[in-house]
Structures are given as C-alpha cells and as structure tokens.
Structure 1
Amino acid sequence: SEGVKGLYKGFGPAMARSVPANAACFLAYEVTRSSLG
C-alpha cells in the first residue's frame, strides 16, 4: 500500500545485515580453502 517507498524502506536494514553475514561466509571459505591447500 506504500508503493515504491514501502519496497525500499526495508532495503537498508536488510543490506546492513546481509553484507557482514556474506563477508563472514566468504572469509570462512577463504580460510578453509587456504588451509586445505
């Protein structure tokens, strides 16, 4: 009912949560990959 503004209202908090989570996943993957050779 809020249109485009309602669509983007939750975008900032969602990105603020997902960026660190994805960074942690990527870091864990890289550390595991380098330790395995």
Structure 2
Amino acid sequence: MGPEKTVRNRKKNIRTCPKSNSISLSMDRSSFLGKET
C-alpha cells in the first residue's frame, strides 16, 4: 500500500512540475528508501 502511493505521487509530481521533475524524483527516492529501511 505504501510503495504504491509513493509511486503514484511521484508520477503526479512529474506531471504537475515537469521543470523540477528531477528534484522531485531525487526527494521522492530518498523518502522511499528511508521508508523501506
């Protein structure tokens, strides 16, 4: 349930903010990794 929501939010962020998609991705990835561990 958690990981799926993160992926959905990530895609939404990329669509809403295509300019800062790389920043959103890096932030999302660190958050996702932190939650997994």
- Quickly name the TM-score band, shorter chain normalised: 0.3 to 0.5
TM-score by length of 1: 0.47
TM-score by length of 2: 0.47
